[in-house]
Amino acid sequence: MDSIHIRQVKKYFQEGEHVVRAVNGVDVVLEKGEFVAVAGPSGSGKTTLLNLLGGLDRPTEGDITIDGVPMSSQTDSELTELRLRKIGFVFQAYNLIPVLSAYENVQFVLQIQGVPDHEHRERILPLMGELGLEGLEKRFPTQLSGGQQQRVAVARAVVGNPSIVLADEPTANLDSEASKNLLDLMRRLNEQKGVTFLFSTHDPMVIELARRVIRLRDGKVQTDERKG
Mean pLDDT is lowest, of 33-42, 121-130, 178-187, 196-205, for 178-187
Adjacent-strand bridge partners of 12: 21
Q: What integer pLDDT is reported at residue 132 of this predicted model?
A: 84
Q: What integer pLDDT is reported at residue 118 of this predicted model?
A: 93
Residue 180's CB is within 10 A of a number of other CB atoms, namely 14
Average pLDDT value for residue range 27-48? 92
Q: What is the dihedral of CA 168, 83, 76, 73, to 10 degrees?
A: 100
Q: What integer pLDDT is reported at residue 53 of this predicted model?
A: 92
How buried is residue 108: exposed, middle or buried, by Cβ count under 10 Å (0-12/13-18/19+)?
Answer: middle
pLDDT digits (tens, 9 = 90+) for 162-184: 888 999 888 887 788 878 888 88
CB neighbour list of residue 198: distance below 8 Å, 6 or more residues apart: 30, 34, 36, 38, 50, 53, 164, 165, 166, 167
pLDDT digits (tens, 9 = 90+) for 7-18: 999 999 988 888
Looking at mean pLDDT, say which of 84-93, 107-116, 161-170 comes out highest.
107-116
d(CA 181, CA 168): 17
Q: Are 86 and 166 in contact (CB under 8 A)?
A: no
Q: Are 158 and 193 in contact (CB under 8 A)?
A: yes
Q: What integer pLDDT is reported at residue 152 of this predicted model?
A: 92
**Higher local confidence (pLDDT), 36 or 131:** 36
Q: What integer pLDDT is reported at residue 122 of this predicted model?
A: 94
Looking at the chain, the whole-number percentage of residues with pLDDT higher than 70 is 99
Q: What integer pLDDT is reported at residue 186 of this predicted model?
A: 85
Domains of the chain: 32-58+74-226 (3.40.50.300)
Q: Is the pLDDT at 1 greater than 70, yes or no? A: no
